[in-house]
Chain A
Amino acid sequence: QQQVKQSPQSLIVQKGGISIINCAYENTAFDYFPWYQQFPGKGPALLIAIRPDVSEKKEGRFTISFNKSAKQFSLHIMDSQPGDSATYFCAASMGSGAGSYQLTFGKGTKLSVIP
């Protein structure tokens, strides 16, 4: 199975709060898990990514938590700002075999950060 399931579909967070978006995957061959941020009228932009040999990766206000046994990973946005309002996509890829380096995306989460 190549599917990546993402939740919630939409999220409203108060400025300064924590935004949490969750994803689950089925294919254990996936070995690269990026998050992309997309603003209206723009293409997706790589935000942060993790490999399965670590459980957490932090870059500024953005943190990925990874649970290999549960086949789940999540994006945490600390101190959420109105400028973070965008659609966020999780994705997964693998570095070998058929379809290597291709991205399988979740359906996206529309985040709205209100002042």
Chain B
Amino acid sequence: EAGVAQSPRYKIIEKRQSVAFWCNPISGHATLYWYQQILGQGPKLLIQFQNNGVVDDSQLPKDRFSAERLKGVDSTLKIQPAKLEDSAVYLCASSSTEVYEQYFGPGTRLTVT
């Protein structure tokens, strides 16, 4: 079974630029999560999708972050405009419906200069 795929793996941008990350969850997993992991800290949830609907986006900085999962499979997380403090690893995870176990992708390391 293929794992969670993410791209790109690394991205360097200047502040005020925009960036987008892509995630393809494990086949059949209806629930998809985006986490932000700042260096030296644990992952922090940004948004949770169930199929193509948003379950919880209360911790997403909506003035600059947006996410979508149009067909209930792949998802895109966008930052516009980026700030220096957005430098982090952005992790995507997926799970089956109403189960605890989440499986993480390798992440995208974003550096904002």
Docked CA distance A36–B102 (Å) = 10
Interface residue tally of chain B, by bracket?
Answer: 20 to 34
Quick check: is A15 within 8 A (CB to CB) of the other chain? no
Q: How many Å from the CB of A29 to the closest CB on chain B?
A: 14
Quick check: is B98 within 8 A (CB to CB) of the other chain? yes
Interface residue tally of chain A, by bracket?
Answer: 20 to 34
Give the contacts of A56-115 with B (CB-CB under 8 A). Answer: 89, 91, 93, 95, 98-108
Q: How many Å from the CB of B56 to the closest CB on chain A?
A: 6
- Would A102 and B45 count as touching, CB distance under 8 A? yes
21 contacts between A and B (CB under 8 A): A32-B100, A34-B101, A36-B104, A43-B91, A43-B93, A43-B106, A45-B104, A98-B56, A99-B56, A101-B98, A101-B99, A101-B100, A101-B102, A102-B33, A102-B48, A103-B43, A103-B45, A107-B40, A107-B42, A108-B41, A108-B42
Main secondary structure, interface of B, reads loop
Q: How many Å from the CB of B70 to the closest CB on chain A?
A: 22
Which A-chain residue is minimally distant from B43 (CB atoms)? A105
Docked CA distance A90–B33 (Å) = 18
- B95 surroundings in chain A (CB, below 8 A): 101
Task: Bits for A21-65, please: 1 = Cβ < 8 Å to B, else 0.
Answer: 000000000001010100001111110010000000000000000
Docked CA distance A95–B106 (Å) = 26
Which A-chain residue is minimally distant from B98 (CB atoms)? A101
Q: How many Å from the CB of A88 to the closest CB on chain B?
A: 10
Quick check: is B25 within 8 A (CB to CB) of the other chain? no
- Would A89 and B104 count as touching, CB distance under 8 A? no
- Would A107 and B99 count as touching, CB distance under 8 A? no
Given A6-B42, A43-B93, 8 more contacts at CB 8 Å?
Answer: A32-B100, A43-B4, A46-B102, A49-B101, A101-B48, A107-B41, A108-B41, A108-B42
